[in-house]
Amino acid sequence: MKTAPLTLYGYWRSSAAYRLRIALNLKGLDYEQVAVNLKAGEQTTEAWLAQQPQGLVPVLKHGSQALVQSPAIVEWIEETWPEPALLPSAPADRAIVRGWAAVIGCDIHPLQNLRVLKAAAALDGQGMDSMKAWAQRWMVPGLRALNDMVRTAKRPGDFLWGEHPGLAEVYLVPQLYNARRWGVDVEEFPTLLAADIAARALPAFIDAAPENQPDAEAG
């Protein structure tokens, strides 16, 4: 049976869209990309709000079905194409890995989303300096705690949970990309950094990297 086409609407530097590119690549799935230029404000247009009323990316279209919110979409991808698995087989182990992903997806990333950073900058009028300070304020303790969690429960292997990248790296690699962008010293998180380096050497992650996207800006 022919599979309905996949179309990913996103932005090259959106970490939520970055997650989906990684997940799709790890599954070996073909997909088309359509850029929504957040810098130019395309997410606020009437046409985009008709698709995503929050004015956010990404959206993944599967045929005529449009899916929103990257955590739900990643879980849908995992359920629809279960091999290669992004999660461990045991329920307790899956809960641990989902918990690590949630540290990023629920606690760290929402506080350094573009619209939140812009709001933080507007509060004191310091612009980019305020955005950087705000991003670091929430990323550093969150990543420090996650590094401790992983170090305590880590399985042998190059990745956060063993020998193969999975859901944890789907969230980790985009978050460390953002951390570097905002001047966070990622050397402080050696367990996370080791998995990030191992993952970014793989084709699925190289192809998903922001700088390798069709809409990437130079510099």
- The count of other CB atoms within 10 Å of the CB of residue 9 is 22
**pLDDT single digits (tens) 107-151:** 999 988 888 888 888 877 777 888 889 899 999 999 999 999 999
Model's pTM, two decimal places?
A: 0.94
pLDDT in the model for residue 115: 84
Structure tokens at 112: 């350094």
Q: Would you state the CATH architecture of domain 10-84?
A: 3-Layer(aba) Sandwich (3.40)
d(CA 188, CA 79): 35
Asked if 158 and 169 touch (Cβ cutoff 8 Å), the reply is no
Within the chain, which residues score under 70 in pLDDT? 1-2, 218-219
Residues 6+ apart with CB under 8 A from 150: 100, 160, 168, 191, 192, 195
pLDDT in the model for residue 121: 82
Q: What are the sequence ranges of the domains in the chain? A: 10-84, 91-205
pLDDT in the model for residue 1: 43
Same fold, 10-84 and 91-205: no
d(CA 70, CA 8): 11
pLDDT in the model for residue 2: 56
Does the domain at 91-205 match CATH 1.10.10.1100? Answer given as: no
